[in-house]
Structure 1
Amino acid sequence: MDGEPEVNGTGRKRRRRRTRQETEADLLDAARRLLQRDGVLAGVNLREIAAEAGVNHGQIYQYYGSRQALLRASVTDLVDRQVAGQEQGFWDLPFAERRAAMFRHRLAEPEVVRLEALLALDGDEGVEALPRFAQTRRSLDRDQRDGALPADADAVAAHVMAASALVGYVIFREAYARDTGIPLDALDDRAEAAYARMIAGLTGAGEAPETDDGGDPAPA
């Protein structure tokens, strides 16, 4: 369980020892796969993660110290990968466009949002509800200089409230769809349009552009 088989000089197969970095990567991948398969509320069994990763159960405690620390590392790793994939030009977008991009991004990874919320409710002080906040703050400052946010706006509070509304929707969207009787895809489209109007209010832009069924701005 400690690596791929290799053939030694006697012709016998032996396993190549994985580096710590490789083992940690395997554990994080295994945790993500099980979370995606079972959902965050099903609970995560460390022995199952170890078996999925092909490592010794004790290595989880050796590397991470606790179940919570492993889950936090898994979330952080996934967020880092996602942000790295969208960082090209993302921080240069004006406030409203950044929030629209984040809406679609978070909607694509609901399990990550739920796990972040559970870790926060569990009192995990290592959870970053606002990752890359230093970069966000620089973008908010630029937004106010460029007029994408009003000069007298509380930009940090605007960002926090926009993020809160999005996280709340992502966590409860399936329940909202059941309660309202609206198909989930249709509710997502309507929520995205409503979110754009909320953001337009924060930017002082008034009415957001009307959207078509796909949620994109309708052609003029």
Structure 2
Amino acid sequence: MSGKDATDTKRPAVDRGASEAALEAAALRLLRRHGVLAGLNLREVADEAGVNRGLVYHYFGSRQELLRAALRRDVKERLAEILASGQLPFKARIQQLLRTMMGQDEAIRLSTLLVLDAQEKLPVAPLREQWISGFKHDMANGKIRKDVDLDALLALVTALSYGYVVFRQSMSDEFDIPAADLDFRVDAILGEMLARFEQPEAPGGEQE
């Protein structure tokens, strides 16, 4: 096969990947611009991405699958920030998770809608294994109590984080508290709650 033939053979795959990425990015931009509840018009997505409208259905098949693909890409791009928090102490790690998720508010709202839609299962805790492993490490090093149910702890933290991110602005408006001030106060309360899971120190200053 000549060099030209090899190039021609590979080009469609590259073009498809670029088109899919452009459509997924365009979908997220439109959601951020108009809001999740405004819905997603596939023709607008194609126009925003500068891609032939027929390719949206050809590549994704449906609006829901495009949303899922866009969300997966968005989460993948942000995983590094979440994983970086794994080096922090127990309480600080979970507090950083909430802060990170607040920076992903549109993706969180989209995840919530897709879960409620219930057409397909969508992982809401894609880093479960890493988090549980981190909790076990904390437990082995005397940082959290040995009787803590780690799966339940992660479920609680995940649900609290999703719920706060989804309702954050609405609660800020309803309570007449600036969002930044509410964030600070919620962070403080979360820290107090998490302290209950920590291993208490012995009288000599060492972990019991």
TM range (shorter): 0.7 to 0.9
Structure 1: state its 5+ residue gaps. 1-15, 207-220
The answer to whether the aligner puts 1:98 opposite 2:99 as a matched pair is no
- The match for 2:4 is none
AA partner of residue 196 (structure 2) = G
2:25 to 29, 32, 42: 29
Q: Is the 8 A contact 1:92 1:139 kept in 2?
A: no
Secondary structure of the residue that 2:196 maps to in structure 1?
A: helix
1:81 to 73, 77, 82: 77
Secondary structure of the residue that 1:170 maps to in structure 2?
A: helix
- The match for 2:206 is none
- Paired residues for 1:1-220 under 5 Å: 19-88=15-84, 90-204=85-199
Stretch moving more, 159-168 or 137-146: 137-146
Secondary structure of the residue that 2:187 maps to in structure 1?
A: helix
Q: Is the 8 A contact 2:81 2:100 kept in 1?
A: no
Structure 2: state its 5+ residue gaps. 1-10, 202-208
- The match for 1:7 is none
Q: Is the 8 A contact 1:103 1:166 kept in 2?
A: yes
Distance 1:125 1:94 in 2: 35
Secondary structure of the residue that 2:97 maps to in structure 1?
A: helix
Q: Is the 8 A contact 2:82 2:100 kept in 1?
A: no
Structure 1 residues 73, 148: closer, same or farther in 2, change over 3 A? farther
AA partner of residue 78 (structure 2) = Q
AA partner of residue 72 (structure 1) = R
AA partner of residue 56 (structure 1) = N
Percent identical pairs in the alignment equals 38
Q: Is the 8 A contact 1:96 1:199 kept in 2?
A: yes
After TM superposition, the runs of 4+ consecutive aligned structure 1 residues lying more than 4 A away are none
- After TM superposition, the score normalised by the length of structure 1 is 0.80
Distance 2:26 2:186 in 1: 32
AA partner of residue 192 (structure 1) = D
Relative contact order (C-alpha < 8 Å, sep 6+): which is higher?
A: 2
Q: Answer 1 or 2: which has greater helix percent.
A: 2
Superposition deviation, residue 124 in structure 1: 3.7
